[in-house]
């Protein structure tokens, strides 16, 4: 579907792609590598690679020196999954098979594929998603998370296939199952529904029965359980100290203690195979440093790595090395083999996803800044300044600026790879990416800053970001836009409807919520879950839901808005944009509207992504002229 009301944006005859970058390169130039898992025998690494609207499974073999061989492709028709929503595959203990999730008719089921190649075998056939597989130590049983009776549950299925058995029941949201090394229990996390999120760690028998809560149930969050190789203790993340740090407890839940004290939010961690160390990823002003902490003395050592975005560190059994994902503003995501002890060897790349045109391009590294919001909150963000800024200042006319809020809201902008942002910076746009209150990576208080407050404080943080751009030397304060996706698209709509100063000349909203109550009613389980944990039920917090809904304020819009949505979006239903467009028509507002019949919450098809990029480029170029 495509329609508009008012003057549509037109291609500018004086506008062209920046030298060295062009839309096809930005969209198709990198086959993103993500969500890896190391085999138990330490010989191979499995990972997904996004290519041609698919996210297929590959492996790389490691020789004795850690040098990579050519990747082997194991699947050929796995449906595309957004990398931030995908999850690593699971190896069987004998390293002969890999279990992974794949979508078919909007439901993800589990499949088994031989690690040496062969026909995948479907393991589950359910009406709801099956995810997070974990194989028992004897290789006979696979536990996973699924959905039943209105909540996420833990279930089990024989490795050879057969009847699925539910292990947990009730209203708690259960996820992240892992096995004790002796196979006696399954450890998982669970959160009660319909209240501010608190999470605890539980244990249950593989045969089911009554779960045993291992953590104290003190209102804090304990999540991401990981059992030590000898089964003596359980590591987890906990926010009780004010940051998401690594904590330890005995296998029976006793002797709970904080292991790390880095004063940062830990994003991920993994046990070394000898059980004496843990490697972890911190969060330091948008960079994700790597640390190794020893269990006995809690000594923490920072590993020397470039500034950027690390992900999923996983040790290679029998060796003092681990595999980690890494990307940065100038480097697309790839896998690296890193030494666990500083000075014992150089890191080496396992994959190389960047074509020469991108590998040699002078990308901009943004500056981490902080600014003050309306109520005194200090808001972090990343400021991208084009290389042409100084020349523009000499000419007297400033450059256009874009406020670019992220999705989530519990997410953050960091020093990650984003070629679309770089494309617009190269065109001469100054971009400020605010990590508004509610963002992760800056401690518990900041992350919980928008509880029962969606579209209020975080909106003011985005408006304050526009003020920062207005004061930035070389920026034209009269040529600002706001552009976001998902929750960022929602904040875009709020900024256009609830800003009394009308700071923005135009806005771009990709699959953003227009009314929180209708989004709650029509969204998928995960989206509804997040909304309830942060805003409560709409029946209990009707006022907050209405205050935070841009649909209620459409009459205030003065700026043109571009609205883009996938017709198969389960997270933010197409109705959110459809009802917004109907209201814009009633009020006689200028808008452009484009939907894509085969897209969900994001872009899987490169042709659609390319079309959307060109529409956004044309819209911004035209209205910020």
Q: What are phi and psi of 437, to 5 degrees?
A: -55, 140
Q: What percent of the chain has pLDDT over 90?
A: 89
Looking at the predicted structure, is the pLDDT value of residue 390 above 60? no
Neighbours of 458 (CB within 10 A): 27
Looking at the predicted structure, is the pLDDT value of residue 343 above 80? no
* Domain parsing of the chain, residue ranges: 2-26+377-623
Q: Where are the beta strands (DSSP E) in 373-494?
A: 378-384, 399-403, 430-434, 475-485
Which residue, chain included where needed, has tokens 């904040």?
Answer: 491
Contact 98, 112 (CB under 8 A): yes
* Secondary structure (3-state) at 403: strand
Contact 74, 59 (CB under 8 A): yes
Looking at the predicted structure, is the pLDDT value of residue 117 above 60? yes
Please give the C-alpha separations between residue 74 and each of 60, 80, 107, 312, in angstroms, as whole numbers.
11, 15, 21, 21
Looking at the predicted structure, is the pLDDT value of residue 393 above 60? no
Residue 136's pLDDT is 98
Name the residue among 61, 37, 40 with its Cα closest to residue 48: 37
Tens digits of per-residue pLDDT, 64-90?
565 667 899 999 999 999 999 999 999
Two tokens, residue 40: 């138990």
What's the helix, strand, coil split of the chain in %, to 5? 20, 35, 45
Residue 395's pLDDT is 62
Tens digits of per-residue pLDDT, 527-548?
999 999 999 999 999 999 999 9
CATH superfamily of 2-26+377-623: Alpha/Beta hydrolase fold, catalytic domain (3.40.50.1820)
Mean of pLDDT values over 237-266: 97
Phi-psi region of 268 (alpha: psi -120 to 50; beta: other; left: phi over 0): beta
Please give the C-alpha separations between residue 407 and each of 229, 265, 487, in angstroms, as whole numbers.
36, 19, 4
Tens digits of per-residue pLDDT, 24-38?
999 999 999 999 999
Cβ-proximal residues to 260 (8 Å cutoff; 6+ apart), any chain: 245, 246, 266, 280, 291, 293, 298, 300
Mean of pLDDT values over 570-592: 97
Contact 237, 266 (CB under 8 A): yes
Q: What are phi and psi of 506, to 5 degrees?
A: -165, 170
| Higher-scoring residue by pLDDT: 389, 519 | 519
Mean of pLDDT values over 188-209: 92
**pTM for this entry:** 0.95
Residue 576's pLDDT is 98
Looking at the predicted structure, is the pLDDT value of residue 323 above 90? yes
Name the residue among 67, 75, 66 with its Cα closest to residue 46: 75
Mean of pLDDT values over 436-463: 96
Of 134-138, 347-351, 367-371, give the lowest mean pLDDT range.
347-351
Spatial separation of the C-alpha atoms in residues 112 and 321, rounded to whole Å: 28
* Summary mean pLDDT of the chain: 94
Strand partners, 97: 114
Residue 173's pLDDT is 95
Spatial separation of the C-alpha atoms in residues 447 and 556, rounded to whole Å: 30
Which residue, chain included where needed, has tokens 């990590």?
Answer: 435
Residue 62's pLDDT is 85
Mean of pLDDT values over 488-514: 98
Name the residue among 415, 249, 241 with its Cα closest to residue 331: 415
Of 251-255, 344-348, 550-554, give the lowest mean pLDDT range.
344-348
């Amino acid at each position: 579907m495509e329609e508009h009301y008012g003057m549509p944006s037109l291609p500018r005859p004086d506008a062209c792609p920046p030298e060295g970058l062009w839309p096809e390169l930005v969209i198709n130039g990198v086959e993103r590598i993500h969500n890896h898992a190391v085999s138990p025998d330490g010989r191979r690494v499995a990972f997904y690679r996004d290519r041609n609207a698919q996210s297929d499974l590959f492996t790389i073999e490691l020789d004795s020196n850690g040098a990579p061989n050519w990747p082997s492709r194991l699947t050929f028709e796995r449906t595309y999954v957004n990398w931030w929503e995908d999850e690593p595959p699971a190896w069987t203990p004998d390293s002969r098979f890999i279990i992974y999730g794949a979508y078919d008719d909007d439901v993800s089921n589990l499949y088994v594929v031989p690690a040496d190649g062969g026909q995948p075998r479907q393991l589950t056939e359910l009406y709801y998603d099956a995810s997070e597989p974990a194989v028992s130590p004897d290789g006979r049983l696979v536990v996973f998370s699924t959905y039943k009776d209105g909540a996420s549950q833990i279930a089990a299925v024989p490795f050879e296939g057969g009847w699925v058995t539910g292990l947990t029941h009730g209203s708690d949201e259960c996820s992240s199952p892992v096995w004790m090394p002796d196979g006696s229990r399954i450890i998982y996390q669970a959160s009660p529904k319909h209240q501010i999120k608190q999470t605890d760690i539980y244990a249950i028998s593989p045969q089911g029965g009554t779960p045993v809560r291992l953590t104290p149930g003190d209102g804090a969050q304990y999540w991401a359980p990981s059992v030590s190789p000898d089964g003596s203790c359980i590591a987890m993340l906990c926010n009780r100290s004010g940051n998401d740090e690594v904590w330890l407890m005995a296998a029976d839940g006793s002797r709970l203690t904080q292991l790390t004290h880095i004063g940062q939010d830990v994003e991920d961690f993994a046990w070394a195979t000898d059980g004496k160390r843990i490697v972890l990823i911190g969060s330091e002003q948008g960079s994700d440093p790597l640390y190794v902490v020893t269990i006995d003395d809690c000594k923490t050592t920072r590993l020397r790595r470039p500034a950027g975005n690390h992900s999923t560190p996983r040790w290679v059994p029998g060796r003092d090395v681990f595999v980690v994902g890494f990307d940065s503003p100038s480097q697309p995501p790839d896998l690296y083999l890193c030494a666990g002890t500083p000075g014992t060897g150089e890191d080496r790349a396992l994959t190389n996803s960047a074509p020469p045109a991108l590998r040699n391009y002078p990308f901009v590294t943004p500056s981490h800044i902080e600014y003050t919001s309306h109520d005194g909150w200090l808001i972090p963000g990343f400021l991208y300044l084009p290389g042409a800024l100084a020349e523009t200042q000499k000419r007297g006319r400033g450059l256009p600026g874009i406020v670019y809020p992220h999705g989530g809201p519990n997410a953050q902008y960091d020093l990650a790879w984003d070629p679309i942002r770089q494309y617009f910076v190269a065109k001469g746009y100054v971009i400020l990416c605010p990590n508004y209150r509610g963002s992760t990576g800056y401690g518990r208080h900041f992350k919980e800053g928008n509880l029962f407050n969606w579209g209020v404080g975080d909106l003011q943080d985005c408006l304050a970001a526009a003020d920062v751009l207005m004061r930035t030397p070389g920026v034209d304060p009269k040529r600002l836009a706001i552009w976001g996706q998902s929750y960022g698209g929602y904040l875009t709509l709020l900024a256009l409807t609830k800003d009394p100063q009308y700071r923005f000349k135009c806005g771009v909203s990709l699959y953003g919520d227009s009314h929180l109550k209708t989004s709650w009613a029509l969204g998928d389980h995960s989206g509804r879950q997040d909304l309830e944990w942060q805003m409560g039920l709409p029946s209990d917090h009707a006022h907050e839901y209405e205050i935070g809904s841009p649909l209620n304020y459409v009459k205030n819009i003065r700026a043109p808005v571009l609205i883009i949505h996938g017709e198969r979006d389960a997270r933010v239903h197409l109705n959110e944009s459809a009802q917004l467009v109907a209201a814009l028509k009633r009020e006689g507002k200028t808008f452009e509207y484009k939907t894509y019949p085969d897209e969900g919450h994001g872009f899987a098809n490169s042709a659609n992504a390319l079309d959307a990029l060109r529409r956004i480029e044309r819209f911004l170029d035209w209205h910020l002229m």
